[in-house]
Structure formats: C-alpha cells, structure tokens
Amino acid sequence: MIRGAIRTALAALALAAAPAAPAREADSYRQLQALDARVQSIGWRLVRANAPFCTVTLPAIGLLLQDSHSWSDPAAMRDALGLASDITVGAVAEGSPAQRAGLAANQPVLAIAGKPFPDSPPGDYRRLAALHDRIDDALRGGGTVALTIGTGTGQQTLSIAGEPACASRFELLTGGDSARADGARVLVTRALVDAVAEDDLLAAAIAHELAHNLLRHPQKRTEEGKGWNRIRHDEREADRLSVWLLANAGFDTADAVRFQREWMRGRDWGFLAPTHDAWDERIDMIEEERALIARQAAQGIRPGSHNWSARFPMSREDARP
C-alpha cells in the first residue's frame, strides 16, 4: 500500500522551516510534494499491477496524508501553504482510487472512518502514522474507507474502495543519494528522484527495492544472517525480479539496463564491492529476464499477466549471472 511513514521528506523540511521566508518555504514544500507524488505514482503502478502474483496483498487507495503537527511549528506550515486544517492530502498516486475520487494535494481531511483525530504535540509523527494505519484497518475490515473532506461549501464524506496491491509502502527521504528497502517500505531519496528525470528510469530503481520487500530479503537477513553471500544473492534476485515488476506495470524494461549503465556504472566498486555484482554482470542478469518476458509476450501474454511467482524466490545457482 502507498503511504508515507514517520520520517517523511515533508517532515524533514518542516523541521528546517524558517518563518522569515514563507514564500521560499512554500515553494520548497511544493517541490517536495511534487516529488512525493511522483514516487507514489510509480510505486502504485508497480504494486497494483503485480498484486496477482504477490504472496501478501492489501487493499489500498494510493493516498498519502500530511499533518501540520509533524512540523515543529504547525501554524507556520499551515500559513506557508494556506492550509485550512491540520490533516490534509499530501500526495495522490496517479491512477489510484484516491485520484478517481477527486482527492488533491492540500485538501482538508476532517475525519477518517467516521472518527476525528486525536491531539498531537508539535514535531510528533505518531499521529500521522496512526492515521495511515486507520485507513489500512478500514480497508482490510470492509474494503472501503470513509474520508470526510473539507470543500468550498462545507464537508463531504467519500467512501473509497481499495484495490489489491502488493504489501509495500513508498517514502521520499531528503538524505542520502540512492534507495533502499526495509521489508515494509521502499525508501527513495530526493537526490535520486531529482537526478533521474525519466519515470521509467526511476521506476527501475524503485522496482529493485520493491523486489527486496516482496521477497522478504530484509527479514531473511535478520533470520539467516547478513553474510556477503546472502546479500549478493538477494541483490541478484532483486535485479531479476525487478524486470518482471516493471513489465507488468507497463514500464519499459530496457530502462532497467539503462539505469545500470547510466547510474550504477559510476557507482560500481567492482571487485571491492562484495555485496553486488559489477554493473555489466547485473545487465547480463537483467537481459536474461527480459528475454524470458519477450518470449512470453510473443505468445500473447500482455503486461499485467507475466506470472513470476513460480520463478521467485530463486536458488543461488539459478540467480547467478
């Protein structure tokens, strides 16, 4: 499912806010909102299209909330963006139920599942996390969630039905320069999103991290240890599965090759990196998966129908380049 968690990029910006420059603050915040929406939209395409083949799925609506009390100065945050309430829409994934329901960034959210919001001290992220949990609980319980939103003429309650999605969240971070997965979230840095302008290229990076979550790699490392051989196998599996995730979501799988060549090549430590194969070896693995998918496509199998569940997880022997 798609949502931000406790330490979102928006919250990080909030802590750095300076009331002396409200226009600049608002512009910076809107830039982050746009990046967040981009990450959420790519993530939604991936988890929605691959839901038929994921071991764990959850109903989701593609909505990311924002809470002014995630800021150290909630009033300054609301004033900078002209917000009418503490809880508002942060980002909506393109093509999601939330978008089809008409939700848009900065729209006031007044209640979720018929319940108002608890109080929260400034700079506290727990309320925001709990509200996302409330959405999830409602969707799991009845397949829909009721959102009461503010409009120009008053209030309106929307009943939004969830759609099956692979169980993973997506979060934009301000620190670092790449992406990682923690078993439940794909964490994508602003530096990466800024540097990779094409959605298909960015999707290649996000799909790789999503593959780690879907294959439970972080959990397995906790259970089985974090040796170099374990991690290298995980990276090989993620490289391979990412191609299938991209294909089902309608992204150009050739951009998985481009991402290795244009982005990872300059960050490849070669034999000094015991956890990853060299960038050209990773391309070889990606091309193997692309060839399998191409054969399926030649047989009439369309995006969204490439069943990877029997191929993954892979043995260490099969995953090698």
> What band does 25 get if pLDDT is binned at 50, 70 and 90?
confident
Rounded to an integer, what is the distance from CA 139 to the centroid of its chain?
Answer: 19
pLDDT at 188 over 60: yes
Q: Provide the pLDDT for residue 265.
A: 75
Domain 9-165 belongs to what architecture? Answer: Roll (2.30)
Q: Provide the pLDDT for residue 38.
A: 98
Mean pLDDT of 11-24: 49
- Bond into 313 cis (ω within 30): yes
Residues 6+ apart with CB under 8 A from 227: none
**Taking the CB of residue 69, how many other CB atoms lie within 10 A of it?**
23
The C-alpha atoms of residue 315 and residue 234 are separated, in whole angstroms, by 10
Q: Provide the pLDDT for residue 274.
A: 61
Q: Provide the pLDDT for residue 131.
A: 97
The C-alpha atoms of residue 55 and residue 309 are separated, in whole angstroms, by 8
pLDDT at 255 over 80: yes
Q: Provide the pLDDT for residue 257.
A: 97
More confident residue, 15 or 73: 73
Q: Provide the pLDDT for residue 220.
A: 87
- Average pLDDT, rounded, for the chain: 90
pLDDT at 269 over 60: no
CATH 2.30.42.10 range(s) for the chain read 9-165
Q: Provide the pLDDT for residue 61.
A: 98
- Bond into 218 cis (ω within 30): no
For residue range 106-157, list pLDDT tens digits in order: 999 999 999 999 999 999 989 999 999 999 999 999 999 999 999 989 999 9
Q: Give the bridge partners for 185, in sequence order.
A: 169
For residue range 276-302, list pLDDT tens digits in order: 788 899 999 999 999 999 999 999 999
Q: Provide the pLDDT for residue 18.
A: 40
The C-alpha atoms of residue 159 and residue 89 are separated, in whole angstroms, by 16
What are residue 188's phi and psi, to 5 degrees?
-115, 130
pLDDT at 222 over 90: no
Q: Provide the pLDDT for residue 2.
A: 46
CB-based contact 282:264 (threshold 8 Å): yes
Q: Provide the pLDDT for residue 273.
A: 56
> What band does 5 get if pLDDT is binned at 50, 70 and 90?
very low
pTM of the model: 0.89
